[in-house]
Amino acid sequence: MRAFFLESHERPPSLRDIPAPEPGSGEIRVRIAACGLNFADLLMLNGSYQDTPALPFVMGMEVAGTIDAVGDGVSGFAPGDRVAVFGGQGGLAEFGCFEAARAVKIPDAMSWEDAAAFQIAYGTSHLALDYRARLGAGETLLVLGAAGGVGLTAVEIGKLMGARVVACARGADKLDVARQAGADHLIDAASQDIREEMKALGGADVVYDPVGGDQFKAAFRSCRPEARILTIGFASGEVPQIKANHLLVKNLSVLGLYWGGYLAFKPAALTGSLQTLLGWYGEGRLKPHVSHVLPLEQTAEGMELLRSRKSTGKVVIRITD
């Protein structure tokens, strides 16, 4: 089978022919139709992601496809089932074997592209806003990186939860994407002062931050008393440092969110969130935004779209029909 394979953190990955895997105990084998790309894939290239697999490995964290074989001890799944899987690796290939516990069945009406773009982006935002920050109706939510893979879903979910959503992104085109996802107010990070704009809006109750760096600092200073700041990632490349005494002045809370980590210590929170999200999708309340769909041969180009921030929403690699 063809697979996008990483052998060294000093050399770029390459498309190779390798043997198709066989499912072990508790595993399903998926004929992969599509794989969603994530910023974490870029971090894996140099080994800086917290869950980078041991080399060598097939890249690709989340997939959608059809089960074609099951291993011993698997119940609830059968060949022919349409599934989405957060595997953490192994997705940029024609076939992949994954723990059955990491798979969810998807509706027949859900496209492969939507399914491959769904779990990490929507799962991260829903778990962060609902479970961690307890976002309430009528509160003001500031979303940084609001046109990116997770940021755009935070805009959409925040609006569904009844918040007043302020979207911050760079440039009119990206802000228009956020507006279409439901943002009530827009801030251009390239030309406007985040703190001053938020001050005019009365401040933020919840900050959703996948960016870090200077934008975190500006958002931190724009918080209302008892605000909650969600640290999702650091796309800027700068991990901000927080002076603990500054938290006291307004009684602020800073909450970390690593979505995949819940599989290890509280999987019910993650799976319950996904069921809610799939229900919303089935009701037509969520509309995944996929800006680029590329073939497996162009995976490196898809990675570059993320690196250069030329994509909006998700980039999906289409692998088989």
d(CA 112, CA 20): 21
Chunk the chain into consecutive blocks of 10 residues (it has 321) and report each block's average pLDDT, rounded to whole numbers: 95 94 97 96 92 95 97 96 96 97 93 96 97 98 96 98 98 96 97 97 98 96 98 93 92 95 90 92 94 97 94 95 77
Which residues make Cβ contacts (< 8 Å) with residue 65, sequence separation at least 6? 30, 31, 32, 33, 34, 82, 83, 85, 96, 112, 319, 320
d(CA 135, CA 141): 8
Instruction: For residue 221, give both structure tokens.
Output: 């200073």
Read off the amino acid at residue 314: K
Cis peptide leading into residue 56 (ω within 30°): yes
114 closest CA partner among 313, 296, 290, 312: 290
Give burial (CB, 10 Å; 0-12/13-18/19+) of 268: exposed
Q: Identify whether the C-beta of residue 150 lies closer than 8 Å to the C-beta of residue 313.
A: no
According to DSSP, the β-strands at 57-58 and 2-6 are antiparallel
208 closest CA partner among 197, 196, 219: 219
C-alpha triplet 79, 106, 305: angle, nearest 5°: 110
How many other C-beta atoms are found inside a 10 Å radius of the C-beta of residue 42?
Answer: 16
Q: Identify whether the C-beta of residue 259 lies closer than 8 Å to the C-beta of residue 116.
A: no
The full set of domains in the chain, from first to last, is 2-118+288-318 (3.90.180.10), 122-260 (3.90.180.10)
3-state helix, strand, coil in the chain (%, to 5): 35, 30, 40
Relative orientation angle of helices 119-126 and 149-160, to the nearest 10 degrees: 50
Find where tokens 């500006």 sit.
218
Q: In the prediction, which pLDDT does 321 show?
A: 77
User: Where are the strands (E) in the chain, listed by range?
Assistant: 2-6, 14-17, 27-36, 57-58, 62-70, 82-86, 95-99, 103-105, 140-144, 164-169, 185-188, 204-209, 223-231, 253-256, 290-295, 314-318
pTM of the predicted structure, to 2 decimals: 0.92
User: Please, how many CA atoms are within 13 Å of residue 210, restricted to the half-sphere of its CB?
Assistant: 24
Q: Identify whether the C-beta of residue 198 lies closer than 8 Å to the C-beta of residue 166.
A: yes
d(CA 121, CA 143): 14
d(CA 81, CA 240): 44
